[in-house]
Amino acid sequence: MSGASVDVQSGAGERSLPEEPSRALRSAIRLEWVTIASQIVITVLVAVVSGQSQAMKVAWIDDLLSVLPPAAFLIATRRIRRPPDIDHPYGYHRSIGVAHLVAGSALFAMGAYLALDSAMTLITVERPPIGITVLVGWQVWAGWLMIVVMGVTNVAPVILGHYKMKLAEPLHDKVLYADAKMSRANWTSALATIVGVLGVGLGWWWADAAAAIAVSISILRDGVSNIRSAVGGLTDRRARSYDDRQPHPLVGRIDVELASTGWIDHAVSRVRDEGHLFHVEAFVVPADGRPLTADRCAELVDRLRCLDWKVHDVVIAPLPELPAGQAFPPEQPSAEQGGP
């Protein structure tokens, strides 16, 4: 793919991503296509050797579900390039959040079903038959094939997850982060499945269903965390970091920039996470004797947008006083009068 920058669209119009995030986005798209291709191969291999094992069945469905986050990411990255229209004046960057919610909901629903199904298998004392198979003329316990496949097929997801994790932060992409986190943790599901199969080989009939429940709970937990994060973003929660651990540092930088503007007496901001980009509403109270002009507002917009490529839509709202009844973060100390 060429090294040209990637264009994004929002209510502020078209804007080319800087070279670093543009390159990161192209790399992420390539990695997600590789992920989908590898997961298809892995799913087929696991299905071939799964037999009657409940743990292997759940592992197979887990591998199949692993296609959802990368597919959601690829669909969302195509939609965000669509220009704003009358019905979508802010553009289509919320597609990232919608994709996040869809993937999380699917994981939650399937995890709940598999946990219930595996629990019923354990309650009804179903004993999974893992028999003998013939491989190039040799009789081999089928469990060994299951173990080998589970071990080999989980190398690629862990490696891909490592590379995707490094791209999630510069892109501020929560879908990519969730996908990377799931991929890197894939080995835990594989280990649980291997332990379950070995348990059956040792005569512990319950080990297979117990391992299946463990994998199901892992899927369920991924679904819950994805839904919580996606719903928070779609309900206009204050912009947070890509991993949801803290408010995004850019929010504080915006408030500091507003406070350092000489013609502003008081200022607060509301920053909405639109996906890759942020929408900023700045409420400003001009200082006495400092006439408010369109040029000053335009200059302030440019300064805020220069803070980071993620600051895209900026609205300056001059007011005689800060609006009452609004929940704003603590106001930054204002600069001394004498600014532009």
Q: What CATH number did the domain enclosing 58 receive?
A: 1.20.1510.10
pTM of the model: 0.79
Q: Please, is 331 exposed, middle or buried when counting C-beta atoms within 10 Å of its C-beta (0-12, 13-18, 19+)?
A: middle
Which of 176, 200, 234 is the last residue in one of the domains? 234
Q: What is the CATH number of the domain that holds 301?
A: 3.30.300.30
* Residue 2 resides in a domain: no
Our CA dihedral for 285, 291, 297, 302, rounded to 10 degrees, sits at -110
Which of 172, 207, 234 is the last residue in one of the domains? 234
| List of E strands, 58-148 | 132-135, 138-141
State whether 34 and 67 are in the same domain: yes
| DSSP string for residues in 216-245 | HHHHHHHHHHHHHHHHHHHTTPBPB-TTSS
* Residue 59 resides in a domain: yes
Angle of helix 95-123 relative to helix 68-79, nearest 10 degrees, comes to 170
* Residue 1 resides in a domain: no
In the chain the first and final C-alpha atoms are separated, in Å, by 45
Q: What is the pLDDT of residues 192-247, one digit of tens each?
A: 888 888 888 888 878 888 888 888 888 888 889 889 888 888 887 888 888 888 88
Angle of helix 206-234 relative to helix 95-123, nearest 10 degrees, comes to 160
Q: How many helices (H) and strands (E) does the chain have?
A: 11, 7
State whether 137 and 162 are in the same domain: yes
* Residue 68 resides in a domain: yes
Count of positions (residues) in the chain = 340
State whether 76 and 168 are in the same domain: yes
State whether 183 and 281 are in the same domain: no
Which residue is it, tokens 């507002």?
A: 297
* Residue 133 resides in a domain: yes
Inter-residue contact 130 to 53 (CB < 8 Å): yes
State whether 183 and 287 are in the same domain: no
* Residue 181 resides in a domain: yes
3-state class of 30 per DSSP? Answer: helix
* Residue 268 resides in a domain: yes
State whether 320 and 186 are in the same domain: no
Q: Which residues contact 120 (CB under 8 A, 6 or more apart)?
A: none
**pLDDT at residue 256, rounded to an integer:** 92
What total number of domains does the chain contain?
2
- How far apart CA 118 and CA 149 sit, in angstroms, is 21
Which of 204, 234, 264 is the last residue in one of the domains? 234
Q: What is the pLDDT of residues 44-77, one digit of tens each?
A: 998 888 877 777 888 888 788 888 889 988 988 8
pLDDT in tens, the chain (340 residues): 334 444 444 444 445 578 888 889 999 999 999 999 999 999 999 888 887 777 788 888 878 888 888 998 898 888 888 888 888 888 888 888 888 888 888 888 888 888 888 888 788 877 777 767 767 677 777 788 888 988 888 888 889 999 999 998 888 888 888 888 888 777 777 888 888 888 888 888 788 888 888 888 888 888 898 898 888 888 878 888 888 888 899 999 999 999 898 888 888 898 988 888 898 999 999 988 677 888 999 999 999 999 999 998 899 999 888 877 666 666 655 554 444 4
State whether 274 and 159 are in the same domain: no
Q: Tell me which amino acid residue 325 is.
A: G
Inter-residue contact 151 to 194 (CB < 8 Å): yes
State whether 210 and 263 are in the same domain: no
State whether 132 and 32 are in the same domain: yes
Structural domain containing residue 108: 7-234
State whether 50 and 195 are in the same domain: yes
Rounded to 5 degrees, what are φ and ψ at 192? -60, -40
3-state class of 90 per DSSP? Answer: coil
* Residue 60 resides in a domain: yes
Our CA dihedral for 305, 309, 315, 317, rounded to 10 degrees, sits at -50
Which residue is it, tokens 């409940």?
A: 54
Inter-residue contact 178 to 218 (CB < 8 Å): no
State whether 154 and 215 are in the same domain: yes
State whether 187 and 122 are in the same domain: yes
